[in-house]
Structure 1
Amino acid sequence: MKTLQALFFWFLLVPWAKPAPSTTQSPRAPAGSRTSEEIWDDAEPLPDGKPMKKKDLMIPRDARGDEGSLEQPARNDDGEMPTCLLCVCLSGSVYCEETDIDAVPPLPKETSYLYARFNKIKKITAKDFADIPNLRRLDFTGNVIEDIEDGAFSRLSLLEELSLAENLLVKLPALPSKLTLFNARQNKLRSKGIKANTFKKLTNLSYLYLDHNELESVPPHLPESLRVLHLQFNNIAGITDDTFCRSNDTRYIRSRVDEIRLEGNPILLAKHPNSFICLKRLPTGTYY
């Protein structure tokens, strides 16, 4: 009888028994963390609409430096850094200032403004801007440019501002016709390095800076559009009645000119009174 009672209680209690918890549970991920598969599932498609591949989401371990930062991107086949990694490209503007480049870098076709100041550029070639038709401003101030091929700017029909200041130029190339500002101050320009018709067809030119050069005379055929002319600190020793005015037309007035600077030249302006009768203001310079 006792044996039957024991069996009865044994069958009654066994279904309610629970196994002891395991002491070798796998570690749980920290709260809020996500697995690589979960991240991959939520990855956005690429901008061109193509699905993203896992390699696009991951950064190879061997691409990281000692402190986990990314190394410099790979160089081009010619060993140079891609322009928009070496420089800064922003909304049609390219900034390559103080980057020690020694030639004009390849530019995006949509470039409108290039600032390449204070570098080591020695030469500008016709190929540099052959495929960049939208350029409006070029600034090469503070380089070591000695030579510019004559057709370097010939295709730049929209170019409005060009600065070649603080270089080593001894002559000027052909300039695009729509220029409003041209700056070639502090070079080694001499009068024989400027062709007679260099400025004649620049009917929009308002600002011309040629100071601190070695010019012996004022460039001929200055356009009617000119407002500011800087020729100070050259070697200009004389001017004629036709330099700024028209000796055969006493009624002619050059009304747009606001400033002409001639100080620092070996010329006594008081000896040439008829040279200024068409101007609203006398040039700055030595009169006595």
Structure 2
Amino acid sequence: MKTLQSTLLLLLFVPLIKPAPPTQQDPRIIYDYGTDNFEESIFSQDYEDKYLDGKNIKVLYFYSKFTIILPLEAKYFQTTVYIFLTLFPNLEMPTCLLCVCLSGSVYCEEVDIDAVPPLPKESAYLYARFNKIKKLTAKDFADIPNLRRLDFTGNLIEDIEDGTFSKLTLLEELSLAENQLLKLPVLPPKLTLFNAKHNKIKSRGIKANAFKKLNNLSFLYLDHNALESVPLNLPESLRVIHLQFNSITSITDDTFCKANDTSYIRDRIEEIRLEGNPISLGKHPNSFICLKRLPIGSYI
């Protein structure tokens, strides 16, 4: 069976196969798939400037003793991957064949994956938008400590294990927008941006101290959910808070300000959006006395 698969694979890539060239500095990305280790080598720092023109991008793969050159033009690259998956439905695909790996970034957008693929350990950015991922687990990122940005916009995520992001101490941006979440997981401490808009999150799905220790968080997007109240203990670092189009019905004097401290000013906040909620902000004037700008919403 293995012999048959190897033969079919070679036949599939015959028009694209060239003998492996002698060692030289080729300003393109070369991935070496060995039996024991996976290594990524980049031979030119100006790769993006020279080759990201939408037409001439090429990714080279060593397979056996050959170099496989795959054009990233959509109609060729996607067709090649589709045929490969059809011929070998049970064969585990190398992540950087199914996705695109470039200088620490992994692009897995619109490739119909239903789970987070094994990532190169050097990965700093993962873009896995518009796929069919339903769950995130602690194992997905256990050995990828350098991640700084994760984008899972437009998947089918319903559940995230609490320990999923526990080892991602460098993670700065996390997008879970346009999924099926009912609650939020424990979030990593260095987040500067968190986006969970267009989900199904209710207030009981956010723990009281979910954001309290996120002292670097500047942008919080929770609009278009099912929240009945504004999340508690929002950090002082916040600049933008989007809560529009939820089910928020009330606000207290401590929601954004400090009821017992009339001299307190929350000067970092630039924008709070509350339109599309069943609440009249005009009935809660003391809730905004510490703000430099009034929230956007209905005051009638």
TM bucket, shorter chain: 0.7 to 0.9
Residue number in structure 2 paired with 1:136: 148
Matches within 5 A, 1:69-148: 69=16, 72=84, 79-148=91-160
Q: Tell me if 1:239 matches 2:251.
A: yes
Question: Which residue of structure 2 lines up, in the alignment, with residue 68 of structure 1?
Answer: 15
1:164 to 2:149 alignment: no
Q: Give CA deviations for 1:190-209 in whole Å, capped at 9, x if unaligned.
A: 00000000000000000000
Question: Which residue number in structure 2 is paired with residue 260 of structure 1?
Answer: 272
CA distance in 2, matches of 1:153, 1:238: 32
CA distance in 1, matches of 2:118, 2:181: 23
Q: 1:170 offset after TM fit, Å?
A: 0.1
- Distance across 2 between alignment mates of 1:80 and 1:61: 16
Residues 73, 98 of structure 1: alpha-carbon distance in 2 compared, 3 angstrom cutoff: closer
- What residue number does 1:175 align with? 187
Match of 2:261 in 1: 249
Structure-2 residue corresponding to 1:154:
166
> Matched residue of 1:68: which SS?
helix
Larger of the two Rg values belongs to structure:
1
Corresponding residue number in structure 2 for 1:283: 295
Q: What residue is the counterpart of 1:52 in the other structure? A: none
Structure 2 residue identity aligned to 1:89: C
What is the RMSD computed on CA atoms of the aligned residues? 2.2
Determine the C-alpha separation between the residues in 1 that align with 2:111 and 2:200: 24
Instruction: Give me the identity figure in percent.
Output: 74
When residues 62 and 178 of structure 1 are mapped into structure 2, their CA distance, relative to the original with a 3 A threshold, is: closer
| Among candidates 199, 207, 219, match of residue 195 of structure 1 | 207
Return the TM-score normalized by structure 2. Answer: 0.73
CA offsets 1:83-142 (integer angstroms, 9 cap, x no match): 000000000000000000000000000000000000000000000000000000000000
Deviation of the 1:63 alpha carbon: 1.4
Q: Secondary structure at the match of 2:168?
A: coil
Q: CA deviation at 1:69?
A: 4.4
> Residue 65 of structure 1: CA displacement?
3.9
Q: Quote how far apart the aligned CAs of 1:153 are.
A: 0.2
> 2: distance between equivalents of 1:174 and 1:212?
21
Letter in 2 for 1:206: S
1:263–1:68 distance in 2 versus 1, CA, 3 Å? same
| Pair 248,76 (structure 1): closer, same or farther in 2 beyond 3 Å | farther
Are positions 1:219 and 2:231 aligned together? yes
| Structure 1 gap ranges (5+) | 1-58
1:15-26 counterparts in 2 under 5 A? none
Shift of 1:62: 7.6
Within 2, Cα distance between the matches of 1:66 and 1:109? 28
Question: Residue 230 of structure 1 corresponds to which residue in structure 2?
Answer: 242
Q: Secondary structure at the match of 2:138?
A: coil
Q: Which runs of 5+ in 2 are unaligned?
A: 1-5, 18-82
SS in 2 for 1:192: helix
- Give the corresponding residue for 1:15: none
3-state SS in 2 of match to 1:138: strand
Residue identity opposite 2:214 in structure 1? L
Instruction: Identify the residue that residue 65 of structure 2 maps to in structure 1.
Output: none
Flag the 1:127–1:77 CA change in 2: closer, same or farther, 3 A. farther
TM-score when scaled to structure 1? 0.76
